[in-house]
Amino acid sequence: MTQNEGYVAKMRTGLGDLVQYDLPLGEQTVALNPLIGQTVRLEFMGAIQCVACSRLTRKSFNQGYCYPCFKKLAQCDTCIMSPERCHFAAGTCREPEWGEANCNIDHFVYLANTSGLKVGITRHSQIPTRWIDQGASQALPIARVSSRYLSGLLEVQIGKSVADKTAWQTMLKGAPESVDLIAKRDEIKALYIPELAQLQEIHGIQSIQWLEDQTPVDIAFPVTAYPTKVKALNFDKQAIVEGCLMGIKGQYLIFDTGVLNIRKFGGYKLRLSY
């Protein structure tokens, strides 16, 4: 039996014929794709380390932060989930330098097929990682915009006719039906011509660049069997997660005993045995 131990971080991914997954455990990294089909055991060792400052904490907030970091860091603010309410754009950012580096830069608005068609936003440096983390089987950038705030405004408009969230249980039950993303992109542009023009009038003609030359990206996940019923596994309720690893999708390990969202437990000290 092989064992690895350390504080866990979200899985690292690489796009190929199948997505390649590696699990960071402290200073070590374990390739997970070769473990699919094997019995895998993850044990929570009872310690949690903040993913930002590395202090030990009894409780994790916002996927791995201690409470002081959760309260003070801009990356933990509510506008991360609602970019149309960007504090940097409003002049109230907790960390203006962080906002300058992460929010006042080009972002992409995209369409993805996760549990169905959805709209989302991401920084250019997070393509295709963002799509993989969401469990998207297809993705297509449709617009490049000059700031996170503006990407949020555009997402809100498109979200009136397209979902902006993934139904994670549905996503984990199998691959969705294929969608013609180029046709959907063109439909959305035609539908929101007045709104696009208004945003460009306010923020500048170059602030929104509609992308006509992008091609959809297809993503295949290493899954041998999907569950018919999705049961979430939780280290806050059980110290040991064990079962046959049937696959990996998004940031979820799919066992025959349930599914585990690795990202949710960032900073937890785990022992991996296989």
Last residue of a domain, one of 218, 233, 252: 218
HSE-CB for 142 with a 13 A CA cutoff: 26
Is 143 found in the same domain as 195? yes
| Peptide bond between residue 128 and the one before it cis (omega within 30 degrees of 0) | yes
Structure tokens at 126: 């997070």
Give pLDDT, residue 248: 98
- Residue spans of beta strands (DSSP E) within 183-233: 208-210, 217-218
Domain count for the chain, please give it: 2
pLDDT tens for residues 104-120? 999 999 999 999 999 99
Q: What rounded mean pLDDT belongs to the chain?
A: 96
Residue 86 lies in a domain: no
CA gap 53, 76 in Å, rounded: 13
CA gap 174, 200 in Å, rounded: 39
Number of Cβ within 10 Å of residue 80's Cβ equals 17
Residue 1 has pLDDT above 90, yes or no: no
Q: Which domain holds residue 66?
A: 3-70+222-273
Residue 119 lies in a domain: yes
pLDDT tens for residues 49-75? 999 999 999 999 999 999 999 999 999
Structure tokens at 35: 């473990």
Last residue of a domain, one of 174, 193, 218: 218
What residue has token string 């799509």? 131
Is 161 found in the same domain as 241? no
Residue 115: exposure state from Cβ atoms within 10 A (0-12, 13-18, ≥19): buried
Give pLDDT, residue 66: 97
Task: For residue 125, name the pLDDT band (cuts at 50, 70, 90).
Answer: very high
Is 119 found in the same domain as 193? yes
